[in-house]
Amino acid sequence: MSLPLAGKVAVVTGSSRNIGAAIAKRLADDGAHVVVNYNGSKDAADELVQNIEEEGNGKAVAIQGDVSSLEDGRRLIEQAVEHYGRLDILVLNAGLMHNLPLDAITENHFDEHFNINVKVPLFMVKAASKHLQAGGRVFFFSSSTTRFSGVPPSYLVYTATKGAIEQMTRVLAKDLGARGITVNAIGPGPVDTDLFRNGKSEQLISFFANLHPQKRIPQTEEIAPIVAFLSRDEAGWINGQTIFVNGGYSV
């Protein structure tokens, strides 16, 4: 039986670890050829590539690139196409979350978040659009904080970037849709990653876990399947949507 993503080429930003690594692994399991993007975590990226290659379903290559840089973001796209000869799936997973209360927010804090979470992803889509095959897929990452009524005030700037992502998703779905390219956003809740755990006490982590109906924090492997499904040909009528993968966290 043929694999659903056999021969497809996917670029996943920030994919040496955490959610990005789980997505890269899942896409490769479904037959895709994957670009594992890393900035400083070369060893982790190389290990993931080795694991994917040993599985034998897809292929993988690690490409360094700092996706806080427009130049590196564009270069990542060009190197991926140069290596594999095509591009079908772009997963803009990399992001920044450093939460501050209103009186501590600076222009640099604001600019840094909008650069990494909004500006570079947009211009990577622009660079990728000339290479994406008909029926291609673009995935942004939003957050369940855009729907959760109990969002802490310190999430102000981060949540604002994710609101921008959701609106870009809607508009780009119309822009690229004529070529059969879908654009969707994935909105996880808290996920057990380094980014989530950083600076949180076990008591606070337990608090977030208890906000879920299942009273736990999900693993990264529980986010990856929605990206894999939406990458399939049969998911082509799902477009311009933000899909919240949060176990009911924002209900």
DSSP letter string, 46-107: HHHHHHHHHH-SSEEEEEE--TTSHHHHHHHHHHHHHHHS-EEEEEE---------GGG--H
Is the Cβ–Cβ distance between 212 and 247 less than 8 Å?
Answer: yes
Token duo for residue 125: 């889509």
Say if residues 166 and 186 touch (Cβ distance below 8 Å).
Answer: no
Tell me the β-bridge partners of 9. 33
Pairing relationship of beta strands 132-141 and 87-92 according to DSSP bridges: parallel
Length of the chain, in residues: 251
| Mode of pairing for the β-strands spanning 33-38 and 132-141 | unpaired
Structure tokens at 140: 């942004």
Is the CB of residue 78 less than 8 Å from the CB of residue 52? no
Among the options 15, 143, 144, 231, which is catalytic? 143
- Name the token pair of 145: 């904080």
- Please give the distance of CA 187 from its chain centroid, rounded to a whole number: 9
Q: Which of 8, 25, 59, 162 is catalytic?
A: 162
* Catalytic residue of the set 38, 158, 249, 250: 158
Annotated catalytic, 158? yes
Dihedral-angle region of residue 85 (phi above 0 means left; psi in -120 to 50 means alpha; beta otherwise): left
Q: Tell me the catalytic residues.
A: 143, 158, 162
